[in-house]
Chain A
Amino acid sequence: MEDERSFLDICGGPLTLRRRYYSSYCREFGLSSARLSLRSVTAVTCTVWLVAYGLFTLFENSMILSSAIFITILGLLGYLHFVKIDQETLLIIDSLGIQMTSSYASGKESTTFIEMDKVKDVIVNEAIYMKVIYYLCILLKDPVKPHEISQVVPVFQSTKPRLDCLIEVYRSCQEILARQKATSASP
């Protein structure tokens, strides 16, 4: 079962939440942000090249132009490969764990998997940064003291959705975690 809905992120940009229910114990949430717009790429390239051309007319050194081209290309490649995150996915599987994937614009994917034994709870926490913002995070158990929290792992850090989107994800996660707690409590 799959459905898509549009939301807004903290800064007002458009987001798309894609939910897939593979089964009653396995769900996936993919948040995609807006792709790199041609307008911004053209604007930055034009600015850099105009500045380089201005320096060239001042210094009469053609190295400036070639270095400007290099910098633009390398900068764009670096931005696509290391900075621009296109989609963030949260896959939650009952009794196995939670997996978070970030896919970059160049196709690179970076994945983190947390086993269900280590997960204490999934919560929506609030932070104050110029205004109040909300973020979803996973609380991890301390291996030594099981009733204490050892780590807080925030999810959807680059796409930064607003509270309405987070509530949807939170509700689904809590359903699965409730199942998990019910089955692990019973012998």
Chain B
Amino acid sequence: MVLKAFFPTCCASADSGLLVGRWVPEQNSAVVLAVVHFPFIPIQVKELLAQVQKVSQVHVAVLGTWCHRQQEPKESLGHFLEGLGAIFSHDPWLQLCRERGTRFWSCKAYHQVSTTPDKSIEDQVMLIFYDQRKVLLSWLHPPTVLPDCQAGDTTASAGGLADIFDTVARSEVLFQNNQFDEGPVRLSHWQSEGVEASILVELTKQASGPVCLLLASLLSLLSAVSACRLWKLWPLSFIRRKLSTCEQLQHRLKHLSLIFSTQKAQSPTQLMKKANMLVSVLIDVALGLLLLSWLHNNNRIGQLANALVPVADRVAEELQHLLQWLMGAPAGLKMNRALDQVLGRFFLYHIHLWISYIHLMSPFIEHILWHVGLSACLGMTVALSILSDIIALLTFHIYCFYVYGARLYCLKIYGLSSLWRLFRGKKWNVLRQRVDSCSYDLDQLFIGTLLFTILVFLLPTTALYYLVFTLLRLLVVTVQGMIHLLVDLINSLPLYSLGLRLCRPYRLAAGVKFRVLEQEAGRPLRLLMQGITVLCAFLPL
């Protein structure tokens, strides 16, 4: 197999020194993590590596030498570097060298079996450059190994490149030494100019502990209250099921308890989920506060309350017109006069009751609206759910009409089907769940046929009422459905992932790609490894 050497791009311009990293024998690849510069004392280097190995469980060792010939070639340096192979023995021993003036590198790999350098091995080394910062930040490595795994189990069966990324990710402690430390050993890696951190992030991390604890306890108290037995009593549980506001509030409570839970996220997908939820809650609250400020400006609530009663009146008037139309000859159809009048008058009286109820409530509407408008500070989704519930309550009479029409129609259809069976001399066998033949008496047949004809001739009237009220109910349901769709959109849009895709695309890397760099015959092949950004891989909903 070709020997692959993964070399960090930040060390390409570093001074000469020792290569420190991990050797993966299954893939014949050497992952270089840092370069140790001269002067150094071998004992101290070995101590540092042992320390790093103990903390990070990564088998870090000295892999070879790195020579950056910026000045005239020093032959003594060459011999000195070869001599180091005897002090830090590693199989195979790499020698990377970069000439001044050419962009091409030379790599030699020596195996301990042969004492003389085998020139033919040079062709078989492949250099792959990788950006340490991007690999660490893009979470291409598999999730953290559970602590109860064996310490020697570093090659957990994540084969291939995932192993390489895992190595880089777990050697974080090696990257903590930077050039401003007064340590005995001078290292070069992506953080050697100084550990990358931001004050705000560190402060937030310190503050988030107690804040999360406090909020988590508050939220658990709220959840306990909402789950207590009182709510399971009949009227309250029924109202709770029907109102979409309660459902939305519960949904949000669940989200918040997930965000502020004291457990750290186990994997990148969970972290993304939490972040998406947090951003969605924040945007929701921001929109809700905007809505609140708009409502309380210019006495809009008063205007709304004043407009509500006339609108309800108008709807009732339109319904009355519709019923008058049905009681006449709707669309040219001839209805059964008696049934028509009965149904029409029944529904008209219902509307009259409803209107009186609305007029009774009208002095209190403004207060109710004002208090309900305050709930918009809990979020735009809560305000929209309340709007949907208000629409449901205001169109309750349409729902009632639909239920009456549907029940009547249902009864009629059952009656018709049963009498039709009687007409043909058959019967429904409840035990066997099938239609059986049956011999009826003459008087049974007579009455049955009479009733059948009556029902058949009354069918168009009932069917028309059923059709009209079902269509009205569908209209109301469509409007409510659109509002719920909007609420779901706000709840589940992954804005954090979208923002990350726009601003920091390397965080969403879901694969790698290779680019062959300029190459000269006889020199080792050089490749550049980069991440591929994919939006869909990190969209947990």
Residues of A within 8 A of B (CB): 22-26, 28, 91, 93-96, 99, 101, 111-113, 115-118, 180, 183-184
Q: How far in angstroms is the closest Cβ of chain B from A175?
A: 14
Give Cα A107 to B166, complex, Å: 33
Which of B13-21, B177-185, B431-439, B506-514 contacts its partner? B506-514
User: Bound complex: CA of A139 vs CA of B518, how far in Å?
Assistant: 31
B 485-541 contacts with A by CB, 8 A = 511-514, 516, 519, 525, 527, 532
Q: How far is the CB of B311 from chain A (nearest CB, A)?
A: 35
* Contact in complex: A111, B532 (CB < 8 Å): yes
Contact of B513 with A28 in the complex, beta carbons under 8 Å: no
Contacts of B28 in A (CB 8 A): 95
A118 to B126, CA, bound (A): 20
B516 touches A28 (CB 8 A): yes
- CB of B497, distance to nearest CB on chain A (Å): 20
Q: List 28 A-B contacts (CB under 8 A).
A: A22-B516, A22-B519, A22-B525, A23-B123, A25-B126, A26-B525, A28-B516, A91-B514, A93-B126, A93-B527, A95-B2, A96-B126, A96-B128, A96-B514, A96-B527, A111-B511, A111-B513, A111-B532, A112-B511, A113-B511, A113-B532, A115-B159, A115-B160, A115-B161, A116-B160, A180-B1, A183-B1, A184-B1
Chain B residues near A113: list those with CB within 8 A: 511-514, 532
Known: A23-B519, A113-B532, A115-B161. 9 other contacts (CB 8 A): A22-B525, A23-B525, A24-B123, A91-B516, A93-B527, A95-B1, A95-B27, A95-B28, A112-B511
| Chain A residues whose C-beta falls within 8 Å of the C-beta of B27 in the assembled complex | 95
A117 neighbours in B (Cβ, 8 Å): 159-160
**Complex contacts, A116 vs chain B, CB 8 Å:** 160
- A112: B residues at CB distance < 8 A: 511
**How far is B531's CA from A111's CA once the two chains are assembled, in angstroms?**
10
Contacts of A91 in B (CB 8 A): 514, 516
Contacts of B126 in A (CB 8 A): 25-26, 93, 96
CB under 8 Å from chain A, chain B span 434-456 = none
Whether B4 is near chain A, meaning CB under 8 Å from some CB there, is: yes
CB <8 Å contact, A94 and B2? yes
Chain A residues closer than 8 Å to B159, beta-carbon distance: 115, 117
Query: Complex: how many Å from CA A25 to CA B527?
Result: 13
Tally of A-B Cβ pairs under 8 angstroms: 55
Partner of B4, one of A24, A95, A99, A118: A95
B4 contacts across to A, CB distance below 8 A:
95-96
A82 CA to B507 CA in the complex, in Å?
24
The 6 closest A-B CB pairs, nearest first, are A111-B513, A115-B160, A95-B1, A183-B1, A95-B2, A23-B525
Q: Once bound together, how far apart are the Cα atoms of A101 and B511, in whole Å? A: 13
Provide the bound-state CA to CA distance between A180 and B124, in Å: 13
Most A-side CB within 10 Å, residue of B1, B123, B519: B1
Cβ of A116 to closest chain B Cβ, rounded Å: 8
Taken together as a complex, chains A and B put the C-alpha atoms of A115 and B511 apart, in Å, by 11
Cβ of A25 and Cβ of B512 under 8 Å apart?
no
Closest to B522 in A: A23
Closest-CB distance, B199 to chain A (whole angstroms): 38
Within 8 A of A (CB), among B296-344: none
Q: Within B156-175, which residues are at the interface with A (CB < 8 Å)?
A: 159-161
A-contacting residues, B1-34, CB 8 Å: 1-2, 4, 27-28
CB distance from B92 to the nearest CB of A (A): 15
Closest approach, in angstroms, between the C-beta of A22 and any C-beta of chain B? 6
Determine which of B160, B516, B532 lies in contact with A26 in the assembled complex, contact meaning CB atoms within 8 Å: B516
Using CB atoms, name the residue of chain B closest to A116: B160
Chain A residues in 8 Å Cβ range of B511: 111-113
CA distance A113 to B509 in the complex (A): 13
Task: Note all chain B residues with C-beta closer than 8 A to A118.
Answer: 160
How far apart sit A115 and B160, CA to CA, in the bound complex (Å)? Answer: 7
Docked Cα-Cα span, A141 to B514, in Å, equals 22
Question: Which B residues are CB-close (under 8 A) to A24?
Answer: 123
Residues of A within 8 A of B527 (CB): 93, 96
Q: How far is the CB of A63 from chain B (nearest CB, A)?
A: 28
Q: A91 CA to B519 CA in the complex, in Å?
A: 15
Q: Which residues of B contact A101 (CB under 8 A)?
A: 513
Q: Which residues of A contact B519 (CB under 8 A)?
A: 22-23
CB proximity of A47 to chain B, nearest CB, Å: 36
Given A95-B27, A111-B532, A112-B511, A25 and B2 contact (CB-CB distance below 8 Å): yes
Verify A99–B1 contact, CB threshold 8 A: no
Question: Bound complex: CA of A23 vs CA of B517, how far in Å?
Answer: 13
User: Please, which residues of chain A bring their CB within 8 A of the CB of B128?
Assistant: 96
